Copies of this chain bind each other. A is one copy, B any other.
Amino acid sequence: MNALGPDATVGILGGGQLGRMLALAAARLGFKCHVLCPDPRSPAFDVVRRVTEADYADIAALDRFVADVDVVTYEFENVPAETAMFLSARKPVLPDPKVLAITQDRLVEKEFVNGLGIATAKFAPVDSADGLTAALAAIGQPAVLKTRRFGYDGKGQMILRDGADPAAFEHLGGQPQILEAFVPFEREISVVAARGSDGAIECFDVTENEHQDHILKTSHVPAAVTPAVAVQARRIAETIAEAFGYVGVLAVEMFVVRDGGGHAVLVNEIAPRVHNSGHWTIDGASVSQFEQHIRAVAGLPLAKPIRRGRIEMINLLGAEVEDYRGWLTKPDTAVHLYGKTGIRPGRKMGHVTRVFPEP
């Protein structure tokens, strides 16, 4: 693919805060954006040249959308395979939709990761209540039962402790599932990496994440890990990006566990998109994850990220957003609100990024 000219239009599937921040980054580089999303109140609709309010399966709408754009990208991993196929027959879709086929299925994703020689928690497929009994015998307890597809923020999963009930399979809807060994992690970390169309890879610094009810609450950078763990975490993200032939930004969520005198790093999940744990890069680095993604899908060179200090990113969840004025008065604190209408518990309404001098 040739690089886009500065008057090009970037098509974005999905109109949430990630699409919004992608569009804001694209605007800095002079690009126009066109967002397709079924929700009329999509936050991304407010900051782009053109919007298509339509279902992802609406072929007529997809046809108009793709005719108007020069490249298509997406803000979420559950883009239907047929949608991606339809669009990619007409315009470049980046990252390549083959990545979606892998990351949309937890079982396929974990097998892919293991196939690269990268460790994960032990896991086993579960296709029936009997299968769950067998998997529990193989994996042990506690373990986490998850639907293979369409889970996020803790939805579609349950922890199974001693004496687990095989009926859990039905509780998760009887669809194909995966049983994963529970990981007694020391820390949760992530690496947000960008790979350009020229194959160059740039990782942001390893980020340490804390979740609240399965939803990201805070990120700290740099993560409090040993240099060896940091090197290994970056190498894992690079290996995955390379194996995908990836173009764009991806995030790899990992567990750091005690392993004898040292540590082991296990991959938990791959997000083939910009990621909440990379929001700190807007204010805490010389280039943001959003701009890196746009540079990559536009065929432009990546930037080398430079961190501005020690960073803390705090999600404003639900009613927490009401205190945004308090955050506006704090030193070296950037406040981001997503323009969402309607506060719901746990809903990501905004975030703040605090930059502290490096100790």
Encode contact with B along A302-328: 1 for CB under 8 Å, 0 otherwise: 011010100000000000010011001
A47→B141 CA distance, assembly (Å):
51
Give A335 to B25 CA distance when docked, in angstroms: 11
Which residues does chain B contribute within 8 Å of A339, judged by CB atoms? 6-7, 27, 30-32
**Closest-CB distance, A335 to chain B (whole angstroms):** 7
B24, B304, B328, B334: the one contacting A301 at CB < 8 Å is: B328
CB distance from A41 to the nearest CB of B (A): 10
Copies of the protein in its oligomer: 2
How far does the Cβ of A22 sit from chain B's closest Cβ, in whole Å? 12
Which A residues from 321 to 359 make CB contacts under 8 A with B? Answer: 321, 324-325, 328-329, 331-339, 341, 350, 355
Which of B7, B28, B49, B308 makes the CB contact (< 8 A) with A45? B49
Nearest-neighbor residue (CB-CB) of A31 within chain B: B339
Whether B301 contacts A325 by the Cβ 8 Å rule is yes
Taking the complex as formed, is A208 at the interface, i.e. its CB lies under 8 A from any CB of chain B?
no
Number of residues of chain A lying within 8 A (CB) of chain B: 45
The answer, yes or no, to whether A119 is at the interface (CB within 8 Å) is no
Is residue A3 contacting chain B, with contact meaning CB distance below 8 A?
yes
| 0/1 string, A123-147, CB within 8 A of B gives 1 | 0000000000000000000000000
Given A24-B47, A301-B325, A308-B308, output 20 extra A-B contacts at Cβ < 8 Å. A7-B339, A7-B341, A23-B47, A27-B46, A27-B339, A28-B334, A28-B336, A29-B337, A30-B336, A30-B350, A31-B339, A32-B339, A46-B49, A47-B48, A283-B286, A286-B332, A286-B355, A300-B328, A303-B333, A306-B355
Residue contacts A-B, CB under 8 angstroms, 28 given: A3-B325, A6-B321, A6-B324, A7-B339, A7-B341, A20-B27, A23-B47, A24-B27, A24-B28, A24-B47, A27-B47, A28-B337, A30-B336, A30-B337, A30-B338, A32-B46, A45-B49, A46-B48, A46-B49, A47-B48, A47-B49, A286-B355, A287-B334, A295-B328, A301-B329, A306-B331, A306-B332, A306-B355
